[in-house]
Structure 1
């Protein structure tokens, strides 16, 4: 077991406190909340379009409108779902932020 040190704790007087030592994670910065993350929105739209295209391709191959094997259908379906879901979610958050829906801000869109 480690030895316990007997160091008395005393509160620093208010005139000696450093005012510049502020944790910036918890400060309110309204400019950063209004900033539009264009790269994240572009990535979300790209994933949405790519996922939709892959899902349409898998549908057309499975119905016989296009040539292909059943293994291609399952692969395109899996990749389409993987691309479509995050693209749809992030595009929906960006749309609600733009429309001003309560509880949605552009700060809720993660930066990639």
Structure 2
């Protein structure tokens, strides 16, 4: 267990010397300011994320159909489609997830965390 260190010579400031007399409640004003740039919705970035998500899903389905024999093609074509599908699906899924959580107001997610393309 961690023990508390003894700090000699430390004492809190007296209440009359504190500078928080103008605040009536315990709200930190640094975190209440939200500029308009944080509330702006990046529609182009969301559209790109949805496009990448749908492209990745379709490429993954095509590679699955080639692997299972429902479509004609070589295994090398299926591996290529699988690789491209994963490369398109992962960033599309991540950015779509961030946009969804930002629209729902989840803590820690804002539209400003989506890069603007």
Displacement of 1:89 in angstroms is 0.2
Structure 1 runs (4+) greater than 6 angstroms displaced? none
Cα deviation 1:8-30 (Å, max 9, x = unaligned): xxxxxxxxxxxxxxxxxxxx661
- 5 Å-filtered alignment, 1:20-59, equals 30-59=35-64
How many residues are aligned here? 85
Q: CA RMSD in A?
A: 1.0
Segments of 5+ residues of structure 2 without an aligned counterpart are 1-32
| Separation in structure 1 between the aligned mates of residue 34 and residue 100 of structure 2, nearest angstrom | 22
| Separation in structure 2 between the aligned mates of residue 33 and residue 70 of structure 1, nearest angstrom | 47
| Separation in structure 2 between the aligned mates of residue 103 and residue 30 of structure 1, nearest angstrom | 16
1:103 aligns with 2:108: yes
- 2:14 aligned partner: none
Cα deviation 1:78-112 (Å, max 9, x = unaligned): 00000000000000000000000000000000012
TM-score for both structures, normalised by structure 2: 0.71
Secondary structure of the equivalent of 1:78? helix
Segments of 5+ residues of structure 1 without an aligned counterpart are 1-27
Secondary structure of the equivalent of 2:103? helix
Secondary structure of the equivalent of 1:53? helix
